[in-house]
Amino acid sequence: MEMNKKRPKLLAVIIILTIIGGVWGIISSFPFFSLYTSIKQGGITVNNKVSIQQVQPNTPASEAQLMKGDTIVSINGKNITSSSEFVDISRTNQGKEVSIVIERNGNPQTVQLVPRINPPTNEGRLGIVLTNTGVEKKSTLELISQVIIRSYLGKELIRLQSLFFGIISVAIGIGLWKWKKWAFYGYLLSAGYGVIASIPYLANPAHYNTTKQIQPLFFPIERTSNLTDTLIVIVSLIMGLLLAYYIFRQKKLFQ
């Protein structure tokens, strides 16, 4: 196959868009926001810890100098893994002094306070708002590695899928530019898969399962039911079909 053969404009456009789609898939797979948030808070958010989201003024919590972001470790010696556990123990010990172990900036502290018997409305017995997530302190290097691992190996593997198909898309785009036969076949397979996978979406976009994805151009796009998303699918399919038509009409590419 000749390397210096002039490329038709249609093929050049498809190659450029394929590479751009792949690069975007790779970039969008990286957990920039999660990494920024974790570095800013100095740790990784975990779901098996209870932390203080808000402290009301003039309450037992504020008098004990509890602060937003403190993690509740235990109350009266019982380890706390959910906000409901903490609320139940506070209710049982209303009017009695309780000992609460918290963690602040990685350091444990113990405070003593008395849950109120008849607290004001919307304040609770201690005057705190809890959340069932906490921050596990890590060094910067540990943060970066763990955030990336958790993002790419998460439950739905969407980021890993985006990275994988993004790399393949870039490789196919480069292969198309160099007139590689495998790249044309790979693109045709991707276009064919995109056509088949898009049929249920195009038939009824509003009721399409948004947890599923299709990969026209080897570029994963999350399905939603808006007009922009529909246009992206249609344009992607048209590009794939045009290239398929071009290849079958221009068989000299494979001579």
pLDDT in tens, 13-46: 778 888 888 898 888 888 888 787 777 767 766 6
* CA gap 210, 44 in Å, rounded: 28
* CA gap 145, 211 in Å, rounded: 27
- Over residues 163-185, mean pLDDT: 85
Domain ranges of the chain: 9-30+157-254, 47-130
Q: What pLDDT is recorded for position 13?
A: 79
Between 168 and 121, the more confident residue is: 168
Fold of 47-130: Pdz3 Domain (2.30.42)
Q: What pLDDT is recorded for position 215?
A: 45
* CA gap 196, 14 in Å, rounded: 20
Between 108 and 212, the more confident residue is: 108
Residues 208 and 12: beta-carbon distance below 8 Å: no
How far is the CA of 67 from the CAs of 53, 54, 173, in angstroms?
A: 8, 8, 53
Task: Output the average pLDDT for the chain.
Answer: 76
* CA gap 223, 200 in Å, rounded: 11
Q: Does the structure show a pLDDT above 70 at 205?
A: no
Q: What pLDDT is recorded for position 99?
A: 92
Q: What pLDDT is recorded for position 152?
A: 79
Please enumerate in sequence order all residues whose Cβ is within 8 A of that of 170, keeping only pairs 6 or more positions apart, or say none. 19, 22, 23, 26
Query: pLDDT tens across 214-227, in order?
Result: 444 444 444 444 56
* CA gap 127, 59 in Å, rounded: 5
Residues 20 and 132: beta-carbon distance below 8 Å: no
- Over residues 54-72, mean pLDDT: 89
